[in-house]
Chain A
């Protein structure tokens, strides 16, 4: 598989096939991140189109200091933030997912999940479930979870992209994962 920088070079040189290649590789994650940010598919599609246009306009200036993927996501997030029709879902301010008693021990210990979680079919089922549950998260938590766990970016890149501190990035990631875990428990715990 040709690497991003090679494709970017070819796009600069006017190679349409190389552009189509980048689109196939990155439009699905772009759309997912855009939807996670603006909360609507239609607006997300517009934001993605704007993003590709901005990529073409800026491709001469792209120096490869960050990865192409990080650069692309940064453009998308800037576009998405300024797009109209943004629906803010802040979520409850401090929704504590885990419950502890006064001494800091579990008030409601986690219900064990079925042993079948190692099963390949169950893993695929969980992946589909977790994708369906992503919209349940507040905006910022969802953005961090998508960038970190779905797209596989590192903590420092994600903090920079979203304009939050490293520590806040981690808090958002923790809350997002904890909420998804709690939602998955509803089906995984009832199995025994």
Chain B
């Protein structure tokens, strides 16, 4: 029973690996899980590819443009400010 349990703990399947990746990218995995995940990644090209694609996706989201605001939109809100000051 004990041995079965240990083996279960060691063997991380792809589904479990994927479930740990978000916490892994946040640096919030406990050491125990991080070590198991990294061991799995070292042997699994599919999960390695998947993690790389997640990183590219997150990187792309970080590059989403903070659009320039047209002056007219700023003016409208500044008018709001003037009314607030006056009121």
Point out the residues of chain B lying under 8 angstroms from A170, CB to CB: 22-23, 26
Q: Which of B66-87 contact A (CB under 8 A)?
A: 66-69, 73-74, 76-78, 80-82, 84-85
How long is the Cα–Cα vector from A13 to B14 in the complex, in angstroms? 57
Decide: B53 and A150 in contact? CB cutoff 8 A.
no
How long is the Cα–Cα vector from A178 to B50 in the complex, in angstroms? 9
Counting CB contacts under 8 A, is A181 at the interface?
yes
CB distance from B36 to the nearest CB of A (A): 14
CB distance from A27 to the nearest CB of B (A): 5
Residue of B nearest to A132 (CB): B64
The interface bits of chain B over 42-75 (1 if a CB of A lies within 8 angstroms of the residue's CB, else 0) are 0000110110111011111111111111000110
Decide: B67 and A117 in contact? CB cutoff 8 A.
no
Decide: B14 and A23 in contact? CB cutoff 8 A.
no
Interface residues on A, range: 35 or more
Chain B interface, DSSP helix/strand/loop, else mixed: helix
Residue of A nearest to B45 (CB): A109
Decide: A123 and B59 in contact? CB cutoff 8 A.
yes
Counting CB contacts under 8 A, is B38 at the interface?
no
The interface bits of chain A over 21-37 (1 if a CB of B lies within 8 angstroms of the residue's CB, else 0) are 00110011100000000
Contact of B65 among A52, A53, A127, A152 (CB under 8 A): A127
Contact of B16 among A104, A112, A127, A188 (CB under 8 A): A104
Point out the residues of chain A lying under 8 angstroms from B57, CB to CB: 130, 177, 180-181, 184
Asked, given contacts A53-B80, A106-B14, whether A113 binds B61 with beta carbons under 8 Å apart, the answer is: no
Asked, given contacts A16-B78, A52-B80, A177-B54, whether A27 binds B73 with beta carbons under 8 Å apart, the answer is: yes
Counting CB contacts under 8 A, is B18 at the interface?
yes
Query: How many contacts A-B (CB < 8 Å)?
Result: 122
Chain A interface, DSSP helix/strand/loop, else mixed: helix
Residue of B nearest to A127 (CB): B63
Counting CB contacts under 8 A, is B39 at the interface?
no
Point out the residues of chain A lying under 8 angstroms from B62, CB to CB: 149-150, 152
Closest 10 CB pairs of A and B: A104-B13, A149-B61, A127-B63, A126-B60, A104-B15, A109-B46, A174-B22, A100-B15, A130-B60, A56-B84
Query: Chain B: residues with CB nearer than 8 A to chain A?
Result: 13-16, 18-19, 21-23, 26, 28, 46-47, 49-50, 52-54, 56-69, 73-74, 76-78, 80-82, 84-85
What are 27 A-to-B residue pairs whose CB atoms are below 8 Å?
A20-B74, A20-B77, A23-B77, A27-B69, A28-B68, A49-B77, A52-B80, A52-B81, A56-B84, A100-B14, A113-B52, A113-B53, A113-B56, A124-B63, A126-B56, A127-B60, A127-B63, A131-B64, A145-B61, A149-B58, A149-B62, A152-B62, A174-B21, A177-B58, A180-B61, A181-B50, A188-B53
